[in-house]
């Protein structure tokens, strides 16, 4: 059964992260600030804070699993390489478009409205994932030795975690263009810079390595049990250190290694649990998997639904207000999640039924948008 369901447990983690992400963005946009300050909202905040680690971690893990076949073609820069590269570029462009107020670089660059260009250059989770996966892609092409490749990934993860606090103190925009500086920290508004978020992508890739090895030995259940135990221990130790043993001067810096380990521990527990859940069910299928498979369009579309100014220069936040109660936010979340699920199912069906036509449609649409953006 494990062979039949393959790696659906990773898709389950990613899909659930995306659905919870809708709740995160709805509560961020619409929920009253008075409610957000209540004591019982802190646990909800922590759960919401697991969404980005789960999304980035699962992206790295799935990406590594996709390398199990066709590496030679990738290294010859054949069709598979260009298809994969095109996908990553699409993710990168989608990330920039999320915060794009106008489809015109000339208008965004208007010196009278500097905030528009600053918003455009913000690094969101899609740019972080795209750049992290591009690093994985080109490292995997350049390095034929599996051992060397994964050792380098491990070293990169450690470097990101160890120097992350330092990177967050440096204003790189004083030395390099803002568009690049935003990838290093949040000083100028980036939401998901590479420090520390790329560490989740690379750790996902490393987890993918161990899963592949376990699968080849038919020891997937053993792998799942190990990561559940390791995750629980890692989480408990991190919580103990962060809340009781270490000074606040260390723990208040968000990209510290324990911030990473605490969340990684939870991800390991969830991942192992999902493996056992998936493998109890023959031919498991769920709308959560549909959402996972169409993660890019679901992420992009639900944000546009919330923040895009569709009605007389107003977005949904302007219309509904940012002072809603929990029940109202829950209703918005459910409605938006259902819309995204239906869209994911429909888009997935069209991609399966008409793959060539959909690929050409996406390519044409992106090309037209780029032409308008740069030449308007």
On the CB side of 264, CA atoms within 13 Å amount to: 26
Alpha-carbon span 334 to 328, nearest angstrom? 10
Backbone angles phi, psi at 57, to 5 degrees: -60, -50
Q: Would you say the pTM of this structure is higher than 0.85? A: yes
| 221: exposed, middle or buried (Cβ count in 10 Å: 0-12, 13-18, 19+) | middle
Alpha-carbon span 172 to 23, nearest angstrom? 33
Alpha-carbon span 291 to 337, nearest angstrom? 10
- Which residues have CB under 8 Å from 109's CB, separation 6+? 117
Per-residue pLDDT tens listing for the chain (376 residues): 344 445 899 999 999 999 999 999 999 999 999 998 888 888 888 899 999 999 999 999 999 998 888 788 888 888 889 999 999 999 999 999 998 877 888 888 888 888 888 989 999 999 999 999 999 999 999 999 999 999 999 999 999 999 998 999 999 999 999 999 999 999 999 999 999 999 999 999 999 999 999 999 999 999 999 999 999 999 999 999 988 887 776 666 678 899 899 999 999 999 999 999 998 888 788 899 999 999 999 999 999 999 888 777 788 888 888 889 999 999 999 999 999 999 999 999 999 999 999 999 999 999 999 999 898 7
């Amino acid at each position: 059964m494990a062979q039949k369901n393959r790696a659906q447990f990773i898709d389950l983690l990613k899909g659930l992260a995306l659905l919870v992400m809708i709740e995160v963005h709805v509560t961020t946009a619409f929920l009253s600030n008075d409610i957000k300050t209540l004591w019982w909202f802190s646990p909800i905040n922590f759960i919401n804070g697991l969404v980005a680690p789960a999304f980035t971690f699962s992206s790295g893990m799935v990406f590594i699993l996709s390398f199990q076949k066709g590496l030679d073609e990738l290294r010859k820069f054949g069709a598979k390489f260009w298809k994969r590269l095109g996908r990553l570029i699409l993710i990168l462009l989608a990330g920039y478009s999320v915060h794009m107020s106008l489809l015109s670089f000339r208008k965004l660059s208007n010196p009278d409205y500097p905030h528009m260009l600053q918003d455009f250059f913000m690094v969101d989770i899609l740019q972080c994932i795209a750049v992290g996966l591009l690093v994985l892609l080109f490292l995997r092409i350049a390095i034929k030795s599996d051992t060397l490749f994964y050792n380098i990934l491990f070293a990169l993860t450690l470097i990101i975690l160890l120097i992350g606090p330092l990177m967050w103190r440096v204003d790189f925009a004083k030395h390099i263009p803002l568009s690049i500086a935003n990838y290093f920290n949040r000083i100028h508004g980036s939401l998901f810079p590479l420090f520390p978020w790329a560490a989740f992508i690379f750790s996902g890739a490393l987890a993918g390595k161990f899963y592949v090895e376990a699968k080849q030995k038919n020891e997937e259940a053993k792998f799942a049990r190990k990561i559940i135990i390791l995750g629980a221990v890692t989480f408990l130790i991190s919580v103990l250190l962060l809340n009781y043993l270490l000074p606040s001067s260390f723990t208040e810096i968000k990209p510290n290694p324990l911030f990473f380990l605490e969340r990684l521990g939870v991800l390991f527990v969830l991942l192992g649990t999902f493996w056992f859940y998936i493998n109890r069910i023959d031919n498991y299928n769920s709308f959560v998997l549909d959402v996972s498979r169409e993660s890019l369009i679901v992420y992009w579309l639900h944000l546009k639904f919330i923040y895009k100014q569709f009605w007389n220069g107003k977005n949904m936040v302007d219309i509904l207000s940012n002072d809603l109660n929990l029940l109202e936010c829950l209703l918005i979340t459910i409605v938006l999640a259902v819309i995204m699920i239906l869209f994911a199912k429909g888009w997935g069906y069209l991609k399966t039924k008409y793959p060539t036509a959909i690929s050409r449609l996406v390519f044409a649409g992106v090309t037209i948008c780029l032409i308008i953006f740069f030449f308007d």
